[in-house]
Amino acid sequence: MTSPATTPEHGARLDVRGLRKVYTGRGEPVEAIAELTFEVKAGELVCVVGPSGAGKTTLLRCMAGLMPATSGAITLGGAPISGPPPGMAVVLQEYGRSLFPWMSVAQNVDLPLREKGVRRAERRTKVSEALAAVGLGDVHDAYPWQLSGGMQQRVAIARAAAYEPQVLLMDEPFAAVDAQTRFELEDLVRSLWRRLGVTVVFVTHDIDEAIYLGERVLVLSARPTVVLEDVSVGLGAERDQLTTRADPEFARLRTHVYELVQAAKRGARTLADAHLTHPVRIGGEAR
Ligand SMILES: Nc1ncnc2c1ncn2[C@@H]1O[C@H](COP(=O)(O)OP(=O)(O)OP(=O)(O)O)[C@@H](O)[C@H]1O
């Protein structure tokens, strides 16, 4: 029987406790992450921002089970992550490298379902539904290299959605697409998230994107990394590119997160160090 924390409808809870990551190689050790502790509730969408080199990709790789932590623990639905866990899907920035060029669009979306052992008839339905959901119902037989970058990223999202993961990790997935396509893909992520109830962790450089998408925004310090602030985004569930971005609350959050990231770049490691010059009211609370 599946526990409530791991049903696809509710996603799975992701817990990061005392995560530390030091890269050791031939040269000097690099302490990428000093101490990260946070929780992503089942079915929550959390964005992660921070200065370049803050360890966002390192965090994501550890959460995906692609790299061991130096110390600390990451659990998914209560189970420790020690390798790529079933029930997790990852979408990366480099769509050109994440799709197999010799497979058609439908075959690419189908592949994880085959590996999951889903029967052929059910797979066919899931692939069609996922491609229709991302607006690519008419390119099943095309090859990735015949599609635009934005379309290829839609295929990667369709592949993740068809798999019905409990957790979806996204590492700067829209950094390489044009601004117009990016808005469309952001709306696609929010609509899939709401429909599937999946837990999502979304890493981005773009502060506006983090606020538009997230229920929370984790702002990381510079390396060695800690959480500078865990910012709640009280913009409601219904969001759209015009009204949400014009909302005064959006502007306040943007100022606040921008200031935090600037403070992180100057070396702030706590809110007290950050010396914010535009204290703002977020959700009625003075900061
Ligand atoms: N394999 C590695 N060996 C040694 N150091 C590494 C390795 N991978 C990353 N680092 C270092 O760890 C730190 C964090 O890197 P990471 O790529 O996680 O940051 P990031 O926040 O994702 O950066 P960006 O925003 O520029 O993509 C950086 O200082 C980087 O140079």
Query: Residue 251: which residues within 8 A CB-CB, separation 6 or more?
Result: none
* Residue 285, pLDDT score: 53
Distances (CA, A) of 52 to 29, 204, 264, 277: 19, 10, 10, 22
Tell me the average pLDDT of the chain.
89
Residues counted in the chain: 287
Q: What is the value of ipTM here, to two decimals?
A: 0.97
Q: Which amino acid is at 115?
A: E
Cβ 99 vs Cβ 85: under 8 Å: no
Give the C-alpha separation, 253 to 249, whole Å: 6
* Residue 282, pLDDT score: 52
* Residue 3, pLDDT score: 41
- Which atom of ligand 1 is found nearest the CA of 60? 18
* Residue 283, pLDDT score: 52
* Residue 10, pLDDT score: 64
Domain boundaries, the chain: 14-33+41-87+166-273, 99-164
- Which atom of ligand 1 is found nearest the CA of 61? 18
Report CA(162)–ligand 1 centroid distance (Å): 31
* Residue 2, pLDDT score: 37
51 lines ligand 1 (CB under 6 A): no
* Residue 9, pLDDT score: 55
30 lines ligand 1 (CB under 6 A): yes
Concatenated DSSP letters of 147-196: S-HHHHHHHHHHHHHHT--SEEEEESTTTTS-HHHHHHHHHHHHHHHHHH
Average the pLDDT over 84-107 and give the result. 88
Average the pLDDT over 119-144 and give the result. 92
32 lines ligand 1 (CB under 6 A): yes
Which of 19, 20, 23 has most ligand 1 atoms within 8 Å of CB, for mutation? Answer: 23
Query: pLDDT tens digits for 5-22?
Result: 444 456 899 999 999 999
pLDDT over 60 at 286, yes or no: no
Average the pLDDT over 231-241 and give the result. 94
pLDDT over 60 at 267, yes or no: yes
Pairing of strands 167-171, 30-40: unpaired
* Residue 16, pLDDT score: 97
In 3D space, the residue among 66, 163, 159, 167 whose CA is nearest the CA of residue 116 turns out to be: 163
pLDDT over 80 at 127, yes or no: yes
Assigned fold of 14-33+41-87+166-273:
Rossmann fold (3.40.50)
Query: pLDDT tens digits for 166-221?
Result: 999 999 988 888 888 889 889 989 988 998 899 999 999 999 999 999 999 999 99
pLDDT over 90 at 265, yes or no: yes
pTM for this entry: 0.90
Average the pLDDT over 224-241 and give the result. 94
In 3D space, the residue among 191, 268, 187, 270 whose CA is nearest the CA of residue 229 turns out to be: 270
Distances (CA, A) of 135 to 109, 163, 174, 182: 14, 17, 17, 14
